[in-house]
Copies of this chain bind each other. A is one copy, B any other.
Amino acid sequence: MSKQAKRKHHKHKKYSLPAAGSSPGLIFIDENALKPVIKLYKYNAELYEVKELSSLSNVAQIVADKSFTFWIEIKGYNSLEMFETLSSDFNVNKLVLEDITRTYQRPKFEEYEGYDFAVSRMLNLDENKELDNVQVSFLLTDNALFTLQETYEDCLEPIRARLRGGKGNIRIAGSSYLMYALMDIIVDTYFVILNAWSEDLDAVEDRLFDKPDKSVMFDTQMIKRNLIGIRRVVWPERDKLNDILRSDSTLVTEQTRLYIKDAYDHCIQIIDVVESLKEISISNLDMYLSMISNRMNEIMKVLTIISSIFIPLTFIAGIYGMNFAIQDPVTGKLLPKNMPELYAAHGYLYTMVGMGLIAVAQIIYFWRKGWFK
């Protein structure tokens, strides 16, 4: 196995699970949790403001102003108090808070008294081409959207630019449209990742056709595994978008549903691409196996042709290398039946010709069988 292939084989990610039997609804703060960075975006058709907050303590008061839409962006979970404020001021269920902080949830959408809860999974290929998989949680009220994620990096900058720019629908379409816009950009990045893998697969396929070695097999298996990984995100994502479409939540506007339907279509297109790349991977692995078998056939043909031609000839040479004596060296007795060929005038010549004929016969035989291709 090449070093290269080995490098690509990395350990499966482990999540810190709750201790079995711990109380449900426990807010989980990891020991390495990052300090929370909270930003408040306040906007309507005319106005757009961004403010960094130190805590959520007076957000309830702020969002009471229904003439604005608010986006409260929370990154980093190292503050139990922050989650308790969500519970006390916004009546967020403890089970929801646990789902937010246990960041291995599948994409889902759930309706609660006064707010909706949703989960997306933000994927990103890091510099080693490994897949980062970050949970983004959404809490949606009538005029506010909370987004929560464990890490600082995200792929949401274009949305902020559109908010700042103030063009298009985004400043006037309310909190559910903002949630849609964020979910949509997350799904859009899946296309980017799939394009990268598709190019990898093309490159491996070139090697498969040019000079297949076992790295073709290892690399294809790794791509196939990545595809299986993304399937586990994208199928529940599709179900989630469908759940939003079918829900009768009053917090999701009719206009937003139209856009969600569009994101749902994108999600199905992604599923199409994933399934398609997976089938190409499987087909390439099948071809690789066939090519190994074919190559074995070729190796064996070389061995068999050479052995079959020379082993009988060597035997004949061996015959005439035997030392049966035509005269006993001790007694001088004549033994005229012992290898008289050796003393024939053209014995050597006839033998060489005979060998040549045997070789030619075999070559014709193998040629007829198509062994010389």
Contact = CB atoms under 8 A, between A and B. Distances in A.
Contacts of A201: 12
Contact of A191 (B20, B314, B319): B20
B195 A14 contact: yes
Interface stretch (A52-60, A104-112, A137-145, A242-250): A104-112
Nearest to A317: B318
A62 interface: no
A298 to B, nearest CB: 8
A322 B323 contact: yes
Interface stretch (A30-38, A39-47, A74-82, A208-216): A208-216
Contacts of A153: none
20 contacts: A17-B191, A20-B191, A21-B157, A21-B188, A24-B184, A24-B262, A213-B373, A214-B290, A214-B291, A225-B283, A289-B290, A300-B303, A302-B308, A306-B312, A311-B311, A317-B322, A319-B352, A322-B348, A327-B330, A335-B344
A323 B329 CA distance: 13
Contact of A20 (B192, B300, B308): B192
A24 B287 contact: no
A41 B304 CA distance: 73
Nearest to A311: B310
A251 to B, nearest CB: 19
A368 interface: no
A286 interface: yes
A361 to B, nearest CB: 13
Pairs A-B, 8 closest by C-beta atoms:
A21-B158, A317-B318, A20-B188, A320-B322, A21-B185, A303-B304, A324-B348, A321-B321
Contacts of A128: none
B320 A323 contact: yes
A170 B20 CA distance: 16
A22 to B, nearest CB: 7
